Amino acid sequence: MLTLKGKSVFAGITIGPLALFHRNTISTASHTVENPEVEVIRFQKARDESIEQLKGLYDKAVQKVGEEQAAVFEVHQMMLEDDDYVDSVEEKIRNGKINAEAAVDQTAQELADMFRHMEDAYMQARAADVLDISRRVEQQLCGGAGIDFSKYDHVIIAADDLAPSETLQLDTDRILGFVTSSGSTNSHTAILARTLGIAAVVNTGNQLHNDVDGLMAIIDGLTGMVYIDPDEDTLSQMRIKQQEEKACKARLEQVRHVPTVTRDGRVIKLFANIGNPGNLPQVLANDAEGIGLFRSEFLYLENSDYPTEEQQFEAYKKTLEVLEGKTAVIRTLDIGADKQVDYFDLAPEVNPAMGMRAIRICLTRPDLFKTQLRALCRASAFGKLAIMFPMIISVAEVRKAKKILEEVQIELDEKAIAYDKDMEVGIMVETPASAVMSDELAKEVDFFSIGSNDLTQYTLAIDRQQTALDAFFDSHHPAVLRLIQQTIENGHKAGIWVGICGELGADLTLTETFLRMGVDELSVSPPAVLPLREKIRSLDLNKA
């Protein structure tokens, strides 16, 4: 038996024969050409044909996964039309006098390498997109023959990685799942797999070869484990686990569309965290009662320049319209630290997690901040929107942020532009400073949302991105829990509600602890909503 450990993309257990994924061979070997202009024309023709293919894939994706997820193929079209990409290929052809296939491949590798070395995980995942569009062009240059997906029938696919276009073309009624040796949980492929409900594990680090083709395999999407040619004991255990998973899903359906309330009558708000409007179907599918953390920086990460007020307004407005009256707590810009954007021109920092980020950028660039606040205020007229300021460490910061917000609202009043004048304004408590000062901060805002991820990082002085320190990282550390309890108590003394929006909120071993502390709201990833509701409804806080 061969055992692999990777990263789970979609929590599910599937058992079936393994099939290696084969792509048509494409030759990108470099050779000298006599007439570079002929090669440029070949490239331009292949690029145009690829763009037409992508338009067709977009239409197919809209029908299959909706507009938000289909947008990846619009992004791919834009990448193929990008001047930097096109100029790089054509310069390599002309200056190096090489064939178009080699020029496309060299450009792809250079750009992919650039993305891989970015600090932000989202931008790192864009390396796969560059390689995907380039392979599409190379395929056209080599004759245009595509992959025959019909031969993958009731199998688990094994590949080095799968491009978004390849994932989309998998027949989800016939594919049991897939496992890849590379890949990222932030990639478009992973997002599509989650949307399509395909059991998948990525980044196992092990390239599989022909000797495993056709062997029985098991994907455990709950743990990220993959078992190839399992022994009888493992197979038996995993079949039992598979049945337990099905029973668990059936049980969770019993808590769909019911109140999130403990046995002794304590009502808890159960919200979801999302990174962009594309996650809204997951919010609704998992029956979240609203959005407790909307990470607005996706608008900045996906743009090549600062997003306009209209771009932001439309994204927020659409979110509220989809929620149909449910609350959306939108965190203002949190760029910096592990989320770097080139056009912000931030100075290099030795320790960016403690540097120029989040509210610090907004307060030092008020025009940038005002653009976002205007978009948020205007969108608030279309639903229940709350604004949340991140990385607060002082009362002075809150007052300065609120003053800028008031200036924006005065401008809107002067222009008779509607907005919700009762819109709640809160802060994230994610630094020890804000937790310790929570008694004073509570007087300034309508709510607290405790960001347990950064609060743990800063309290323990351990970089949560540094996997080598995992043995020292304790998210249940008494110091972290004391700061959370202190924040909740101080919030309630001032009459405001307090939530938790970090990963600890979904930790079922801490749910009762948090409820006994008095937490009012928990905001978690969409798939964690129903398990958490089941846990809350099982608790009786009157019992010792």
Rounded-to-integer distance, Cα 133 and Cα 130, Å: 5
Q: Which of 76, 188, 362, 377 is catalytic?
A: 188
| Residue 542 pLDDT | 92
**453 known member of a binding site:** yes
The answer to whether 108 touches 85, Cβ cutoff 8 Å, is no
DSSP string, 101-134: HHHHHHHHHHHHHHHHTSSSHHHHTHHHHHHHHH
Residue 461's contacts (CB-CB under 8 Å, 6 or more residues apart) are none
Distance of CA 492 to CAs 35, 129, 379, 448, 488, Å?
76, 47, 29, 10, 6
The residue whose two tokens read 């700061």 is 483
H/E element holding 487? Answer: helix 478-493
490 three-class SS? helix
Integer angstrom CA distances of residue 284 from 254, 299, 529? 16, 22, 10
Our answer to whether residue 188 is catalytic in this structure is yes
Residue 374 assigned to a binding site: no
Question: Tell me, what's the pLDDT at 437?
Answer: 97
At 470 the three-state DSSP class reads: coil
For residue 389, which phi and psi values (nearest 5 degrees)? -95, 130
pLDDT of residue 26: 78
Residue 257: predicted pLDDT: 93
d(CA 440, CA 393): 11
Q: What is the pLDDT of residue 303?
A: 76
Answer yes or no: are the C-beta atoms of 256 and 293 closer than 8 Å.
no
What is the pLDDT, as a whole number, of residue 478? 95
Give the count of beta carbons closer than 10 Å to the beta carbon of residue 470.
Answer: 10
Q: Helix crossing, 366-379 with 395-414: angle to 10°? A: 60
Question: Is 331 annotated for ligand binding?
Answer: yes
> At residue 269, what are phi and psi to the nearest 5 degrees?
-75, 130
What is the distance between the alpha carbons of residues 273 and 293, in angstroms, rounded to a whole number? Answer: 5
- At 339 the pLDDT is 60
Q: What is the reported pLDDT for 102? A: 93
**Catalytic: which of 76, 362, 377, 501?**
501
The reply to whether 136 sits in an annotated binding site is no
Give the global pTM. Answer: 0.67
- Residue 290 is predicted with a pLDDT of 96
Would you write out the chain's pLDDT as a tens digit for each of its 544 residues? 889 998 888 778 899 999 888 877 778 888 999 999 999 999 999 999 999 988 888 887 777 666 666 777 888 888 898 888 999 999 999 999 999 999 999 999 998 888 887 766 667 777 888 888 998 899 888 876 667 777 888 899 898 888 777 877 777 778 888 899 888 776 767 777 776 777 889 889 887 888 888 899 999 988 899 999 999 999 999 999 989 888 888 898 999 999 999 999 999 999 999 887 877 888 998 999 999 999 888 888 777 788 999 999 999 999 999 999 999 999 999 876 556 677 887 777 777 777 888 899 999 999 999 999 999 999 999 999 999 999 999 999 999 999 999 999 999 999 999 999 999 999 999 999 999 999 999 999 999 999 998 899 899 998 766 656 777 888 899 999 999 999 999 999 999 999 999 788 989 999 999 999 999 999 998 888 999 999 999 999 998 7
- Domains of the chain, start order: 2-23+147-236 (3.50.30.10), 36-141 (1.10.274.10), 262-538 (3.20.20.60)
Query: Is 360 annotated to bind ligand?
Result: no
- DSSP for residue 505: G
Phi, psi (degrees; rounded to nearest 5) at 442: -60, -25
Q: Which residues contact 201 (CB under 8 A, 6 or more apart)?
A: 4, 6, 7, 8, 9, 177, 179, 180, 219, 220, 221, 224, 225, 226
Phi-psi region of 17 (alpha: psi -120 to 50; beta: other; left: phi over 0): beta
Q: Per the structure block, which two tokens stand in for 526? A: 């969409």
Q: According to the model, what pLDDT value does residue 315 have?
A: 92
Residue 118 Ramachandran class (φ > 0 left, ψ -120 to 50 alpha, else beta)? beta
**For this structure, is 501 an active site residue?**
yes
